[in-house]
Amino acid sequence: MKSITIKGSQRESVGKASTKALRNAGKVPCVLYGGEAPVHFSSEELSFKNLVYTPNAHTVLIELENGESYQAVLQDIQFHPVTDRILHIDFFQLFKDKPITMNIPVRLEGNSPGVRNGGRLLRRKRKLAIKALPDLLPDEIVIDISKLRIGGTISVDSLRVDDYTIMHPDNQAIVQVKTSRTAVADADDDEDEEGEAPAAEGAEAPAAAAEE
């Protein structure tokens, strides 16, 4: 999996006054969990642009001014309710011998014959929770829909591999093609209806969050 480097400074004080001063200076207070003790640091808000505002999943290399560095994943993020500025970020430290769970985007490739014949492409999952050792985490999960016909479904059980564990039931549908006369009831945030264009769209998912 691709990694993004975040350069930061260790925080000597974690009180409200120092936190406010950091934000006023355009910096984001952060905490790294998962090690022997939490590591408090701060970094320029702009340094998180390619980590937060992207549909892709990344690991993070945190490099502090004191020479210490940590491999991590983004665990939680807080935004200002009005301005949407980043207020605080939590990271979770990675260890090569300990599996981690992340949400990995799904990318469809190929042209579905079912869509070409008038069917509708329904994406039930735009991301999948994957558990793996850090070095085995995929950047994305690619699904070939070139043989997906009307009434067809691609489920989790067809995607099982040895490198990682998909944390969903085998019968969980990821993508389906249904007839254009079929209505989709009770759609939620994780299930949406694609247009009738045959070309598959790219993955779209929020920043990866570690789950333990």
105 and 89: one domain?
no
pLDDT of residue 179: 85
113 and 162: one domain?
yes
Pairing relation of β-strands 127-132 and 3-10?
unpaired
* Phi, psi angles (nearest 5°) of residue 20: -65, -40
Query: Number of folded domains in the chain?
Result: 2
Domain that holds residue 20: 3-93
- 91-115 pLDDT, tens per residue? 999 999 999 999 999 999 999 999 9
What distance in Å separates the CA atoms of residue 204 and residue 57, rounded to the nearest whole number? 10
Task: For residue 7, give the amino acid letter.
Answer: K
Is this model's pTM higher than 0.85 or not?
Answer: no
Last residue of a domain, one of 93, 117, 148: 93
> CATH number of the domain that 75 lies in?
2.40.240.10
